Amino acid sequence: MGFQLTENGRNCRGLRPSVRCPGGWLIGGVQLFKPRRRLVLALFKHHGWCQSPCGMSSRRYIQGLAGVARTDVAAMTTSLVDPQAFQNSLDRDQQALQRAGFTSLPAVSDPPPLYVVAPEGQLQVHTAPYRGSFASVLSQAMRAAGLGSRVLISQFLKGGVQQGPAGRVQLCGGLVWLRPEVPLCLSSPDHPGGAEAVAAVWAICRQHLIQGDLDQLVLDEIGLAVTFGYLNEADVIEALEQRPASMDVIITGPAIPSGVVEMADQVTELRRGF
């Protein structure tokens, strides 16, 4: 089949010569392919095709000599400008997909909005019948301080040189270590100056519990301090109840009061002989 470029049904004499190229014919600088013996029709503007100034500005057609086959520009673009035609085209595509076995995906509702949730603290109890439950808690406190948390470790029965609230030690940025101002460890209720030293440490811890200016508070051997009579159990429970919801409080050591254990979110008991 040969091809000829016409304009409004008349031959355009100013055509550039046709050239045979792989896969089709090159007519006037535009290649026409014939896949499966079908002619792919193309539409082009008037200028640039004719070598002679014919002055025509109407639409052009590509016409087969064996049979007239015209393609109108308006017919090709009607689905792009007519909303109803565009919707009909979508419906036909949808029906074709359904006949092929494809189903539409269910509509997805909008996800719920995201809200900033405040961190929730816990009251943890690490108890043992012997002195030895502090090592794991110390590593946990150091890890939290290394990540930027404000941590206070208070040991109520451990003494030493230059201790007390005025001699507190600050470790790794956010970790503060506090001990009572006594030269030796407190192992009995009648130690000279023990009650005053423990009360001073507890006053600082109680203030942090009420103000909520810490991320984690470790109370080591506070149960023994209650057992020895240095602290009142009711005062300790009242202060723990006033702590903010975002603060972690970890209580370690033996002889934890039963009222504190009932308040705890997590209780860990260490035993020997297993």
Average pLDDT over residues 169-197: 90
Average pLDDT of the chain, as a whole number: 75
Average pLDDT over residues 74-91: 69
Query: 3-class SS at 140?
Result: helix
Q: pLDDT-based confidence at 49, cuts 50/70/90?
A: very low
Phi/psi for 102 (5° steps) reads -90, 140
Residue 31: per-residue pLDDT? 41
Q: pLDDT-based confidence at 262, cuts 50/70/90?
A: very high
CB atoms within 10 A of CB 99: 8
Contact in structure between 226 and 257 (CB atoms under 8 Å):
yes
Separation in Å, CA 60 to CA 42, 52, 105: 10, 15, 44
Secondary structure letter of residue 246 according to DSSP: T
Identify the burial level of 111 via C-beta atoms within 10 angstroms of its C-beta, where 0-12 means exposed, 13-18 middle and 19 or more buried: exposed
Residue range 157-180, pLDDT digits in tens: 998 888 899 888 888 778 999 999
- pLDDT at position 40 over 50: no
Residue 271: per-residue pLDDT? 83
Residue 240: per-residue pLDDT? 96
Contact in structure between 122 and 248 (CB atoms under 8 Å):
yes
Contact in structure between 19 and 80 (CB atoms under 8 Å):
no
Domains of the chain (ranges; CATH) run 3-84 (no CATH), 123-269 (3.40.50.300)
**How many residues can be counted in the chain?**
274
Residue range 122-156, pLDDT digits in tens: 999 999 877 667 888 999 999 999 999 999 999 99
Structure tokens at 90: 């979508």
CA distance 17 to 49: 11
CA distance 250 to 220: 8
Q: pLDDT-based confidence at 115, cuts 50/70/90?
A: confident
